Copies of this chain bind each other. A is one copy, B any other.
Amino acid sequence: MSFFIGKDREARRAYGFDEVAIVPGAITINPEEVDASVKLGPRKLKIPFVMSAMDAVTSPQTASLMSSLGGLAVLNLDGVYARYEKPEEALKKIIEAKESQATEIVQEVYSKPPKESLIVKRIKESKAKGAIVAVSTVPQNAARYGALAARAGADYFVVQATVVTAKHVSDNHHVLDLKELAKKIKIPLIVGNCVTYGAALELMETGAVGILVGVGPGSACTSRQVLGIGVPQVTAIADVAKAREAYLKKTGRYVSVIADGGMANGGDVCKAVACGADMVMLGSAFARAQEAPGGGYHWGMAMPSRYLPRGTRVRVGQTGSLRQILFGPSLRHDGSQNLVGALKTCMGYVGAKTLRAMQMAQVIIAPEIKTEGKALQLSR
């Protein structure tokens, strides 16, 4: 739907999670009988939850734990685990930094370069208990770390930056060819982030098994403020999901759409799937786990940049174990615990037996803001 923002200048209206809601179905299903498993490339995962490639969330230990719980974690090969022998000390500096100095200290901590030996070590640590583990890096390092990660035993390789396209142009630098990379490394590739139909389609054509969707929506992200760039998640997910269907029809290959960022609670997770996502990648929601290395804090991977820091360190608190956040029992009514239960309950109300069916749930536009205002008024 296009509107004129100026003379002869059209723009689409895009929507975010807070602007939509899911409509219950005419048939309901017992939530204990719905199936929330998902296929990602060659493997099936019990739950469609991915732990973000953020240092406050995914350590070798939490990656291992996440796999044992049925989900997938992405370990960041550009993060503190690859930069420090003793990452605990680096994390401590960030956690204990004063509010006003957080950006500077994060920049300092991340100024130490990663070591290849540490990368190998961390992958092996996370795989120690037989876990399925993904690792990520930025496009600049992808060619180098890709082979390394594959050899060290990583199960998925994620190439991730604020915006990634299949066609990057540079006269001066060598440009990463994703198609070539996908062929060369022997493990399944996941790429992103993107937010449009066209860009997603081209990324699918590189051979990736998963596409990360989300530019500018996360709680630890300020891309829109700094760069003006961003597409709210409902529209981004729906557009990329449409690209998935078109690509599936054309090629017969199913590429998973992984919503990344902007999901604060169970409701947002349900909406992401209802808009077409196959999986959801969460940062701050898992940063609240007692096991999370961020110790109650969370920060984005664009924050350390000296050039253009985007994102901030936010206090998220520690509210329960990772298991509790995923499966309950829940002591919180804000939708931050038992995310799998919330998804299954929603599937039941919608009458969707599988995630694939849930992607066709009816969604309405329904701004949330005012009801909240009223609730606050009453709770005083």
Contact = CB atoms under 8 A, between A and B. Distances in A.
Contacts of A373: 18, 369
Contacts of A266: 225-228, 308
Given A227-B270, A229-B21, A232-B366, A169 B333 contact: no
A163 B65 CA distance: 35
A310 interface: yes
Contacts of A332: 103, 309
A225 B339 CA distance: 11
Contact of A224 (B21, B197, B237, B239): B21
Interface string A1-34: 1011111110111111011111111111110110
A37 interface: no
Interface string A180-206: 000000000000001111110010000
Given A167-B26, A170-B29, A232-B366, A378 B284 contact: yes
A163 B231 contact: no
A29 B169 contact: yes
Interface in A208-251: 215-217, 219, 222, 224-232, 234-239, 241-242
A354 interface: no
B364 A231 contact: yes
A230 B370 CA distance: 14
A222 B13 contact: no
A49 to B, nearest CB: 15
Interface stretch (A80-88, A150-158, A323-331): A323-331
Stoichiometry, copies per complex = 4
Contacts of A21: 14, 216, 224, 228-232
Nearest to A222: B333
Contacts of A350: 229
A338 interface: yes
A333 B1 CA distance: 33
A365 B167 CA distance: 26
Contacts of A316: 378
A24 to B, nearest CB: 4
Contacts of A306: 328-330
A345 to B, nearest CB: 6
B7 A13 contact: no
30 contacts: A5-B235, A5-B363, A6-B242, A7-B242, A8-B242, A9-B276, A11-B363, A14-B21, A16-B367, A18-B374, A21-B228, A29-B170, A30-B168, A33-B172, A103-B333, A219-B375, A219-B378, A219-B379, A225-B335, A226-B267, A226-B333, A227-B267, A228-B270, A228-B346, A229-B346, A230-B366, A284-B378, A298-B378, A306-B328, A309-B333
Given A4-B13, A107-B331, A235-B366, 7 more contacts: A27-B165, A104-B331, A217-B371, A227-B342, A235-B364, A307-B338, A308-B341
Q: List the 7 closest A-B pairs by CB distance, nearest first.
A: A6-B238, A228-B270, A226-B335, A30-B170, A228-B267, A18-B370, A314-B379
